[in-house]
């Protein structure tokens, strides 16, 4: 069989693709505003990766230490190594207190202080009064804050009756005869049937793509599906060289050990027993920004002070923290440590090493959540009908390095904001008449995976994915330089050539997970290219992008965002926004902790 | 290691059948999880179907029946399982394919207990106050990951998955009954005070034994009964 250009069609006011915290917050708003929407998710909503967020969500509530949104804004800009857009960061930090209280009203079971208010813990890169004393800004539900938020948002969506398409996979964006985005082709994973969901407003909330690296904290579903769709539609990705390597992943495996452990007093130690962060960040030590701590650990290990038979990890020591604090505030961490390392952190330190955690780059958007792309004169223009939020988007509030506790904030702030943008547009515009969609590219793509393997070919989608992850880890990890990245680029070409040849062997229709991983692999490889090409171009070190051959930040040449296009791997650039509306600009200066 | 796995492809098979796979021990290490083994088996047979996502026991995707017990594959160490491992889908719900079940009824029962906080509307400048003691009442209930290991080990749920809420949904119900912020306390208790809801539970405690997060739905249901006696 082959696919022809006929699929059943359903129409909606708006589509939300991805049921993590960002998508779920948007869907809630759009449903509440009375719109006919569909929430499309490749897994049952509470399986989305927001569920794994541990430490908390930042807001200057001031429940524990004095706080102001202005200080939060300053810390976020400094944390971003000045690449974050200051108007967007300002907006997010101003919204934070209200949106966290709104989450509390939705039922999130935040931990509490004795006075009944929301508990806030210390996290890396947070200060009072523009860089002075440590702030306690991260609102936490023990060390399961993401789970608590995701489940509460799902529950509120159940209350309002949001329409869910669970276990549906979004294959590609569809354009109409005017080259405008006007629908999505989706596959029902339960039976392999495809259908067109048509809508004038499509919101991508598809999450990150940490699966592009071998060692990562991400769920296996984090394959950057929204990013692949956007690149294939001809639009760019922004700042893809910036990947956060979380300092404390379970050594050799990658599961996340929350920054909350250090926030509650945990100390990193090397094989000599030294609390080595004192060398790298004399003032704030273990609570420096994540990029700083990740590099410090990598240096300790590279210089031979790692622990274990292969000297390939460091220790995270919490043995001095009282048992009841660990039981009350870090129960999930204790469970992960016992399950995956066989270590009870109450008695023995946890073995940790940096692991790929978060994608600062993504689909470029403005504060309204509209996807933007440069026109012929280089001006950023919104793409009609296309929106992106959460980790898949780059608005950019995280710049070159995200602060812990800011991603849960990002998803709810821009989730709500973008739903409001869509609501306002829907009120102004008359309902759309049905338009003809161009299905040729996506039909070719579907048919390509119906090919049968040639005699003797043994390559598989799984093997290509493993090789891709290894290429990315070796070629574009915590430390980078020109020769290793050039080599990675050559290896990516070989992987791309294999992708074009490989065939799947399962042609069934019900839960065909091989076909699903083939679609996902196409997305991952495009993300690999976007990362390496952008990282090669940026000849400076900034935030999470550490070049051994260009060790300094270079504001004269590189205080700008990278835009990567799939066509010929073209790069263009756009300026960083330095014009917040309610606060003076935070001037770039050397970043020390 | 030997794996005996229940296979069922609705496009070909009339009913499920067993297939035996061998996995070279050299591919495994002392700290491999069952999910690692499943991934390796899928390299042998790409049509082998099972759900998984977070790989660390928080998303609840990968509940399966392992040597007769419901567990999450990603946090089940292979070293506990012996040289022959028998894998079946979670029992009591329809099978979609291989180890993947149709959880529609399970989710329907969850939704039916109205698992969402209902409060007096509060202005956005304030949070509801809750003491640490009031908050502590949610511990052991809010952490549920909806994997279904408990409800699909419950004989009462096997008999009437369309009528009986089952342990997971009742655990969710209890989470809202004891939340000091919720204003529907009595309404919730009245709806739960029924032979098909709370009182269908016979405290066999398979649910508590099965819960991969160490929660006790059985105790939660017992507490619901006590609260009904006190408050209704």
Q: Is A86 exposed, middle or buried (0-12, 13-18, 19+ CB in 10 A)?
A: buried
Distance CA A115, CA B171 (A): 28
Q: What is the C-alpha separation between A410 and A417, in angstroms, rounded?
A: 10
**A452-479: b or e for each residue (b if 16 or more CB lie within 10 Å)?**
eeeeeeeebbbebbebbbebbbebbbbe
| Domain shared by B87 and B148, yes or no | no
Domain boundary (B101, B128, B156) is at: B101
| Chain A closest-CA separation from residue B86 CA (Å) | 21
- Whether residues A546 and A443 share a domain: the answer is yes
Question: Within the 165-224 window of chain B, which residues sit less than 8 Å (CB to CB) from chain A?
Answer: 179, 181
Structural domain ending residue among the three candidates A303, A323, A356:
A356
B127 and B16 in a common domain: no
| Domain stop point among B50, B81, B101 | B101
On whether residue A257 sits in a domain, the answer given is: yes
pLDDT of residue A5: 81
State residue A431's pLDDT score. 67
In a domain, A587, yes or no: no
User: What's the CA gap between A541 and A555, in Å, rounded?
Assistant: 10
Alpha-carbon torsion A156, A162, A165, A169, what sign?
negative
With CA atoms as reference, report the closest residue to B79 among B38, B149, B28.
Answer: B28
Interface of B with A in 4-43 (CB under 8 A): 9-11, 31, 42-43
A269 annotated active-site: no
Partner-chain contact A44 B103, CB within 8 Å: yes
* Residues in chain B closer than 8 A to A342 (CB atoms): 31
Q: What is the pTM of this model?
A: 0.97
Q: Residue A233 in contact with residue A388, Cβ under 8 Å? A: no
Q: Please tell me which residue of chain B has the smallest CA distance to A189.
A: B96
Within a domain: residue A109? no
Q: Same structural domain for residues B195 and B95? A: no
Q: Is A258 an interface residue toward B (CB < 8 Å)?
A: no
A268 part of a folded domain: yes
Together in a domain, B124 and B199? yes
> For residue A48, which residues of chain B lie inside 8 Å, CB to CB?
59
Burial of A304 (0-12, 13-18, 19+ CB in 10 A): exposed
Sequential pLDDT tens for chain A (593 residues) = 788 888 999 999 999 999 999 999 999 999 999 999 999 999 999 999 999 999 999 999 999 999 999 999 999 999 999 999 999 999 999 999 999 999 999 999 999 999 999 999 999 999 999 999 999 999 999 999 999 999 999 999 999 999 999 999 999 999 998 999 999 999 999 999 999 999 999 999 999 999 999 999 999 999 999 999 999 999 999 999 999 999 999 998 999 999 999 999 999 999 999 999 999 999 999 999 999 999 999 999 999 999 999 999 999 999 999 999 998 899 999 999 999 999 999 999 999 999 999 999 999 999 999 999 999 999 999 999 999 999 999 999 999 999 999 999 999 999 999 999 999 999 998 766 667 899 999 999 999 999 999 888 899 999 999 999 999 999 999 999 999 999 999 999 999 999 999 999 999 999 999 999 999 999 999 999 999 999 999 999 999 999 999 999 999 999 999 999 999 999 999 999 999 999 999 999 999 89
Q: Are residues B95 and B113 in the same domain?
A: no
Q: Which of A356, A371, A402 is the last residue of a domain?
A: A356
Domain that holds residue A460: 437-553
* Number of compact structural domains in chain B: 2
Same domain, B108 and B95: no
Is A533 within the bounds of a domain?
yes
Q: What is the CATH number of the domain that holds A515?
A: 1.20.58.100
Domain count, chain A: 2
Distance CA A152, CA B118 (A): 12
Contact (CB<8Å) B132/A460:
no
Q: Which two tokens stand for residue B179?
A: 């939340």
A332 min Cα distance to partner chain B (Å): 9
Domain boundary among B81, B101, B121: B101
Q: Based on the domain organization, do A441 and A352 belong to the same domain? A: no
Tens of pLDDT, residue by residue over A356-377, are: 999 999 999 999 999 999 999 9
pLDDT at A4: 83
| DSSP line for A552-576 | S--HHHHSEEEEE-SGGG-EEEEEP
**A104 lies within 8 A of chain B by CB:** yes
Do residue B182 and residue B111 come from a single domain? yes
CA of A347 to nearest chain B CA: how many angstroms apart?
20
Q: Are residues B41 and B128 in the same domain?
A: no
Considering the domain boundaries, does residue A274 fall inside one?
Answer: yes
**Nearest residue on chain B to A100, alpha-carbon basis:** B127
Q: What is the mean pLDDT of each run of 10 residues along chain B (232 residues)?
A: 98 98 94 96 97 97 98 96 96 98 98 96 93 97 98 97 97 98 98 94 97 98 97 93
Confirm if A572 and A378 have CB atoms less than 8 A apart.
yes
Rg (CA), chain A: 23
Identify the domain containing residue B129 by its residue range: 104-231
Is residue A339 a part of any domain in this protein?
Answer: yes
Residue A535 lies in a domain: yes
């Amino acid at each position: 069989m082959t696919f022809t250009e006929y699929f059943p069609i359903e129409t909606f006011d708006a589509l939300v693709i991805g049921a993590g915290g960002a998508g779920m917050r948007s869907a809630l708003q759009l449903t509440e505003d009375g719109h006919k929407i569909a929430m499309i998710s490749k897994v049952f909503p509470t399986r989305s990766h927001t569920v794994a967020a541990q430490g908390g969500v930042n807001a200057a509530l001031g429940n524990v230490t004095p706080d102001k949104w202005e200080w939060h804004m300053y810390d976020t800009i400094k944390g971003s190594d000045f690449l974050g857009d200051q108007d967007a960061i300002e907006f997010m930090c101003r919204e934070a207190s209200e949106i966290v209280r709104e989450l509390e009203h939705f039922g999130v079971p935040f931990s509490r202080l004795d006075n009944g208010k929301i508990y806030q813990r210390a996290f890396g890169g947070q200060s009072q009064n523009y860089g002075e004393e440590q702030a306690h800004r991260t609102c936490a539900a023990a060390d399961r804050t993401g789970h608590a938020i995701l489940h509460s948002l799902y529950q509120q969506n159940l209350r309002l009756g949001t329409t869910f398409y669970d276990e549906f996979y979004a294959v590609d964006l569809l354009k109409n005869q005017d080259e405008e985005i006007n629908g999505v082709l989706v596959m029902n994973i339960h039976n392999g049937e495809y259908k067109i969901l048509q809508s004038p407003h499509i919101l991508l909330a598809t999450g990150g793509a940490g699966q592009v690296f071998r060692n990562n904290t991400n769920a296996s579903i984090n394959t950057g599906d929204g990013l692949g769709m956007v690149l294939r539609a001809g639009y760019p990705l922004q700042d893809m060289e910036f990947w956060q390597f979380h300092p404390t992943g379970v050594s050799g495996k990658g599961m996340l050990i929350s920054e909350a452990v250090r926030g509650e007093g945990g100390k990193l130690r090397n094989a000599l027993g030294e609390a080595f962060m004192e060398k790298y960040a004399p003032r704030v030590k273990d609570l420096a920004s994540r990029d700083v701590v990740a590099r410090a650990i990598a240096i300790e290990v590279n210089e031979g002070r790692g622990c274990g038979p292969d000297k390939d990890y460091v220790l995270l020591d919490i043995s001095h923290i009282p048992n009841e604090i660990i039981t009350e505030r870090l129960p999930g961490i204790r469970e992960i440590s016992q399950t995956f390392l066989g270590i009870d952190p109450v008695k023995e330190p946890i073995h940790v090493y940096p692991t790929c955690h978060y994608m600062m780059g993504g689909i470029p958007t403005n504060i309204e959540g509209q996807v933007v792309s440069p026109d012929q004169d280089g001006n950023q223009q919104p793409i009609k009908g296309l929106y992106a939020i959460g980790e898949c988007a780059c608005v950019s509030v995280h710049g070159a390095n995200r602060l812990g506790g800011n991603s849960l904030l990002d998803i709810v702030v821009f989730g709500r904001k973008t739903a409001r943008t869509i609501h306002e547009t829907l009120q102004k515009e008359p309902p759309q008449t049905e338009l003809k969609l161009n299905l040729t590219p996506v039909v070719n793509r579907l048919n390509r995976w119906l090919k049968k393997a040639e005699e003797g070919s043994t390559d598989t989608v799984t093997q290509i994915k493993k090789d891709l992850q290894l290429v990315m880890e070796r070629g574009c990890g915590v430390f980078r330089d020109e020769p290793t990245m050039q080599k990675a680029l050559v290896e990516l070409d070989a992987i791309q050539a294999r992708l074009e040849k490989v065939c799947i062997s399962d042609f069934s229709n019900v839960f065909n997970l091989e076909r699903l991983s083939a679609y996902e692999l196409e997305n991952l490889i495009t993300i690999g290219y976007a990362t390496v090409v952008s990282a090669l171009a940026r000849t400076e070190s900034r935030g999470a992008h550490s070049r051994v051959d260009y060790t300094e930040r270079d504001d004269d040449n590189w205080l700008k965002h990278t835009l990567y296009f799939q066509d010929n791997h073209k790069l263009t650039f756009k300026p960083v926004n330095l014009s917040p509306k309610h606060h003076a600009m935070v001037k770039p200066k050397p970043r020390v902790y | 290691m030997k794996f005996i796995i229940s296979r069922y492809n609705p496009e070909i098979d009339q009913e499920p059948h067993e297939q035996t796979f061998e996995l070279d021990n050299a591919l495994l290490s002392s700290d491999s999880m069952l999910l690692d083994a499943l991934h390796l088996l899928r390299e042998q047979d790409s049509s082998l179907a099972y759900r998984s996502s977070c790989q660390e026991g928080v998303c609840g995707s990968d509940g399966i029946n392992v040597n007769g017990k419901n567990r999450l594959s990603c946090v089940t160490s292979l070293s506990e399982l012996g040289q022959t491992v028998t894998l079946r889908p979670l029992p009591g719900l329809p099978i979609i394919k291989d180890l993947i079940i149709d959880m529609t009824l399970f989710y329907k029962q969850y939704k039916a207990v109205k698992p969402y906080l209902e409060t007096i509307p509060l202005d956005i400048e304030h949070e509801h106050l809750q003491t640490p003691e009031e908050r502590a009442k949610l511990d052991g209930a809010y952490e549920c990951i909806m994997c279904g290991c408990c409800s699909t080990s419950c004989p009462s749920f096997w008999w009437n998955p369309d009528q009986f809420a089952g342990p997971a949904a009742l655990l969710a119900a209890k989470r809202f009954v004891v939340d000091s912020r919720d204003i529907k306390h009595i309404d919730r208790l009245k709806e739960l005070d029924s032979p098909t809801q709370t009182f269908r539970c016979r405290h066999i405690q398979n649910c508590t034994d099965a819960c991969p997060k160490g929660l006790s739905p059985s105790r939660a249901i017992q507490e619901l009964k006590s609260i009904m006696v006190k408050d209704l």
